[in-house]
Structure 1
């Protein structure tokens, strides 16, 4: 399997994009992906912006717990980070691939472009401030989640 990043959002939202590393070659909206701690924190923050019925919290040891607000489902989904601090998140809500069909800001587009171009020459100098910094953050996030697996 060629492991390259995927840009995701929560289906029906304009959150993210979240830089994810697929775990399989097949993809459905409920497929789990790997995310960095920074991306996982952003996912939790974004989920808390809506009344979506799921909320997340990080334990002191770094474990991520997702709780459903439904009384018939009181058990949390517990996600322990892997040895590189990445979180496997999926199956709790549908993902959508982040792209032009998702309403987004220039900042989100710059971040996404940086992530997609993480294996290419850094082009942040071609962008105005603060978009150059968002582009650089996207590149960094892609490098962190992939552990630079695709670097020559």
Structure 2
């Protein structure tokens, strides 16, 4: 199975996602479907896709799903028989679209990441706050160490939306 989507317009800017019940990320995504469609694919930058792979290997190493990058920039997910509802082993290849974004979904349930729903670090909160304020002309002040994460969140949101709606 291979996915190379055409860029779809965002539904409402960005989503902050995590793997359901995981608390990983938050991952900044350009939505391809409403957040309530938990199996749906969403668009991610290469940096965020790489973070998803890193978290998968670090926190869910024994879940039966792995991922690897190929030299050509494709991302290949491989699962074992019995992973989720798959009755046999398989792979899913994600190639970047014309803008370098990766449509990732269908291999686990996504959930919206909110600081109220998931235990989080101050760094995760600063990153999420930056992403949420990516279109704002005013920025929130954070102390050193966290301001870099806030700024990274803003930049990641701009990158995944291709700087649409930039103030």
**TM-score of Structure 1 vs Structure 2, range by shorter chain:** over 0.9
| Between structures 1 and 2, the one with greater helix share | 1
Match of 1:123 among 135, 139, 151: 139
How far the C-alpha of 1:150 sits from its partner, in A, is: 1.4
5+ residue gaps in structure 2? 1-9
Aligned equivalent of 2:108: 93
Aligned to 1:23: 32
1:109 matched to 2:125: yes
Gaps of 5+ in 1: none
Cα drift, residue 14 of structure 1: 1.5
CA–CA distance in structure 2, aligned partners of residues 122 and 114 of structure 1: 11
When normalised by structure 1's length, the TM-score is 0.93
Number of aligned pairs? Answer: 151
Which residue of the partner structure matches residue 34 of structure 1?
43
Residue deviations 1:8-58 (CA, integer Å, cap 9, x gap): 001111100000000134631101100000000000010112122111101
- TM-score scaled by length of structure 2: 0.85
1:44 aligned residue (40, 49, 53): 53
What RMSD over aligned residues (CA atoms) do the two structures have, in Å? 1.6
